[in-house]
Amino acid sequence: MTFESLAALWLKTRKNKVSWTQYKNLRCYINHLNRYISNMDVAEIKPMDIDALLDALTDENPNTHRPASRQTLVNVRSTASRVFEYGIDIELIVRNPARGREISRYAPRHYRRALTIVEQKLIIATPHRARMGVLVMMLAGLRRGELIPLTWDDIDLDALKISITKSAESKGSNRLFVKEGTKTSWGRVVDIPLDLALELQKAKAVSMSKYVCPRVDGQMHTLMSWRRMWDSYITALCKVPGAEKTNIQEITAHYLRHTYATLLYISGVDVLTASKLLGHANIKTTMSIYTHLDDMLKAKSVDKLDSYLSSSLFTSSGQVRP
């Protein structure tokens, strides 16, 4: 059996077990694999073949004509490994040639940044119909797909908790469909800060919709209505005095979630608790974020040392001040 045939069989087993978006991503990763090993007999594929395709993608992603990011390479390798494990399960092959293959250390890493303090203050201070939803994403870590179907019944203001038990996803159309559970689990409960609860209480008192962040007519968003609202919101933020000194126009919904992760880190929340609050399927995801933030903090500490040495000990020529 060729790799392409085995991958197609495996993909069928995933169709009703993952979200439509995850399924679409899996098809994308398999397309990458099929470019290199589609016609090869799965029993003849060797670790060196997997290394070769990963190296080729490291040099250039055919879709973007730029080097593939480290995360893309990890996802392609993981998908290949899962296909081969399926081949082992159905007794077609006896080994997994993708298991443990190394990703180049030179593959570019793409990190979403957290919002600066200035940007966070702009979001808190700028009135807009998107503001409440943005605050929930920034201060409770909800994904866009978790926020869109969120109703006031999901929020317990007395207990300071939000129950995240459903999510909205597109299936290739403008309409969003609500499913039980979230991207990575059957749901989670998030403790919210008092300041967010007070904002929610004020918004609930004047809301005419059952949704926390609805479209103009009070109904749940479609893809198009969300995009129109988001574009309007970013435009409003850019007009606020002080916004010209920021990169607020590049903000996406996931920047807000990354800001929440950063706030958890800065507040000293341990990685296990943070992983549960963020709803990560694997604690390694949270660990990678915390490690990145830790590296950034160390770099800023060294910058402070540089500033001190330059201003206090050394002259501009590098000589020690008397």
Kindly report the CATH number assigned to the domain that includes residue 178.
1.10.443.10
Return the pLDDT at 266.
85
8 A C-beta contact, residue 115 and residue 259: yes
Task: Determine contact, residues 14/26, Cβ cutoff 8 Å.
Answer: yes
List of the chain residues with pLDDT < 70 = 110-111, 184-185, 296-322
pLDDT the model gives residue 301 = 60
Q: Which of 251, 276, 309 is the last residue of a domain?
A: 251
Residues 209 and 62: their CA atoms lie apart, in Å, by: 45
> How many domains is the chain built from?
2
Nearest to 132 by CA among 183, 178, 189, 201: 201
The reported pLDDT for the residue numbered 173 is: 86
134 and 72 both lie in a single domain: no
Tell me which residue range forms the domain holding 26: 3-89
| CA-to-CA dists, residue 41 to 36, 147, 182, 280, angstroms | 12, 45, 37, 36
CA 159 to chain CA centroid, Å, is 28
Residues 247-277, buried b or exposed e (16+ Cβ, 10 A)? ebeebebebbbbbbbbbbbeeeeebeebbeb
pTM of the model: 0.72
Which of 217, 251, 285 lies at the terminal end of a domain, its last residue?
251
- In the chain, the amino acid numbered 210 is K
